[in-house]
């Protein structure tokens, strides 16, 4: 195949409003930043607690690089597992209330590693239809029989589990494109009844919900026995990079032996682990960050209600404004960008056809005036084509 044969599909994506382009960030990750050389007010970062540019986290990274160098030089199982990695794993285990935690390079690699290590050919894996791509791809990579149930439909999951008892049930804790919470208590009951593992990816709940930011499980009152496998990312509320899996001693040892995305990749920089140790400590002790987030979410939702804007039902910093068509979502995003406000349009295949939206995300680093400016801009959006 020649490069010219790829052009028609790229043109089709452009015509359908589905073409994606990268922007160049010319400043640190923060609400007021430079994008493609222009100052913008950003509402599309996952830096929920405002820690990505925190001076203490930056200082910890600098000290870590001076002490440990930059690269780890090898995989964790060769000689790339440094003392800061070990310390961070212990602190993450304490944070999540589990015996062990295991660092992965990304959340995608964590979910691929866990599912492919625990399920295989002949097994059934049940997943929410709106799960993150990494959970779905993990099941496909494992060669298990992936069975998807309608979003949040616990009765449909129970029926699937009766038809074909699953080896593993997997769900987001907070759904990344909708901001709603999974019915985890019901999922735990189905898992217990069928003897399945329950895996919850709480990438968008950790740091934001629960006591000290312990996440969706703490928020809903679920313990490690009910949800034995927890995955989380460090590049969202904690402001750094990487991911982890937390669970029992036996689970973590099994992953060390069998998770290919852990075994066959270079360990993340030890300086980064030092930075994350600092951001984790800040996230746990500074409750005002979660309080500000809740206040900003309430302010945005109240303003949107007054304006008659179709926000999805979400109590988290993820506040989707439903557009319907990809063309409408793209046009809204472009209108906001012309006004100096950056909000990413989310279009198929990331979300189902007909549910394109602006994915508005809030940070503790935002001010009330920032939210008011966003509302003023949203009030000008044409809505006659929305579905």
Model confidence pLDDT, tens digit, residues 112-131: 999 999 999 999 999 999 99
265 has pLDDT over 80: yes
Q: Residue 3: its pLDDT value, please?
A: 81
Reported as a pLDDT band with limits 50, 70 and 90, residue 20 is confident
> Beta-strand (E) ranges in the chain?
32-35, 38-42, 100-104, 124-128, 145-149, 168-172, 197-201, 229-233, 243-247, 318-324, 341-342, 345-346, 356-361
387 has pLDDT over 70: no
Average pLDDT value for residue range 285-304: 98
CA 97 to chain centre: 20
Reported as a pLDDT band with limits 50, 70 and 90, residue 382 is confident
Reported as a pLDDT band with limits 50, 70 and 90, residue 386 is very low
Q: How far apart are CA 156 and CA 148, in angstroms?
A: 9
Global confidence as pTM: 0.94
Judge whether 164 and 147 are in contact, CB under 8 Å.
yes
Q: How far apart are CA 189 and CA 119, in angstroms?
A: 20
Residues classed as catalytic: 176, 204, 236
Lowest mean pLDDT among 8-17, 196-205, 258-267: 8-17
Judge whether 105 and 244 are in contact, CB under 8 Å.
no
Dihedral angle sign, alpha carbons of residues 138, 144, 145, 151: negative
Tell me the CB-side half-sphere exposure of residue 171, using CA atoms within 13 A.
30
Q: Residue 17: its pLDDT value, please?
A: 84
Could you tell me the domains of the chain? 16-49+287-378 (3.90.1150.10), 55-285 (3.40.640.10)
Q: Residue 380: its pLDDT value, please?
A: 93
Model confidence pLDDT, tens digit, residues 311-341: 999 999 999 999 999 999 999 999 999 999 9
109 has pLDDT over 90: yes
Q: Residue 21: its pLDDT value, please?
A: 87
Reported as a pLDDT band with limits 50, 70 and 90, residue 384 is low
Higher local confidence (pLDDT), 252 or 22: 252
Model confidence pLDDT, tens digit, residues 29-69: 999 999 999 999 999 999 999 999 999 999 999 999 999 99
Q: Residue 385: its pLDDT value, please?
A: 45
200 has pLDDT over 80: yes
Reported as a pLDDT band with limits 50, 70 and 90, residue 1 is low
Average pLDDT value for residue range 379-386: 72
């Amino acid at each position: 195949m020649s490069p010219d044969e790829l052009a028609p599909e790229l043109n089709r994506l452009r015509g359908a409003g589905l073409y994606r382009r990268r922007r160049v960030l010319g400043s640190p990750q923060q609400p007021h930043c430079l994008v493609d050389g222009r100052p913008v007010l950003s509402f599309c970062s996952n830096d929920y607690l405002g820690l990505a540019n925190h001076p203490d986290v930056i200082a910890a990274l600098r000290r870590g690089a001076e002490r440990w160098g930059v690269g780890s030089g090898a995989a964790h199982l060769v000689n790339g597992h440094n003392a800061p990695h070990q310390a961070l794993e212990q602190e993450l285990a304490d944070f999540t209330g589990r015996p062990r935690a295991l660092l992965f390079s990304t959340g995608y690699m964590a979910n691929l590693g866990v599912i492919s290590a625990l399920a295989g050919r002949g097994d059934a894996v049940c997943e929410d239809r709106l799960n993150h791509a990494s959970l779905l791809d993990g099941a496909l990579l494992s060669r298990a029989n992936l069975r998807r149930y309608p979003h949040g439909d616990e009765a449909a999951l129970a029926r699937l589990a009766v038809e074909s008892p699953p080896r593993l049930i997997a769900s987001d804790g907070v759904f990344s494109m909708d901001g709603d919470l999974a019915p985890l208590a019901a999922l735990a009951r189905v898992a217990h009844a069928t003897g399945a593992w329950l895996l919850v990816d709480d990438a968008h709940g950790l740091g934001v919900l629960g006591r000290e930011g312990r996440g969706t499980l703490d928020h809903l009152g679920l313990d490690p026995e009910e949800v034995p496998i927890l995955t989380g990312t460090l590049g969202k509320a904690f402001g750094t990079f990487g991911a982890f899996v937390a669970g029992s001693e036996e689970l973590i040892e099994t992953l060390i032996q069998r998770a290919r995305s852990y075994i066959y990749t270079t360990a993340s920089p030890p300086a980064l682990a030092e930075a994350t140790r600092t951001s984790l400590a800040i996230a746990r002790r500074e409750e005002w960050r979660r309080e500000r987030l809740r206040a900003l979410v309430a302010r945005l939702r109240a303003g949107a209600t007054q304006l008659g804007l179709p926000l999805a039902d979400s109590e988290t910093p993820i506040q989707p404004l439903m557009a319907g068509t990809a063309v409408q979502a793209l046009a809204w995003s472009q209108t906001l960008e012309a006004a100096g406000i950056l909000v990413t349009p989310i279009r198929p295949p990331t979300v189902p056809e007909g549910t394109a939206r602006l994915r508005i995300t809030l940070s503790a680093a935002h001010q009330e005036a920032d939210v008011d400016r966003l509302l003023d801009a949203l009030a000008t959006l044409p809505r006659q084509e929305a579905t």
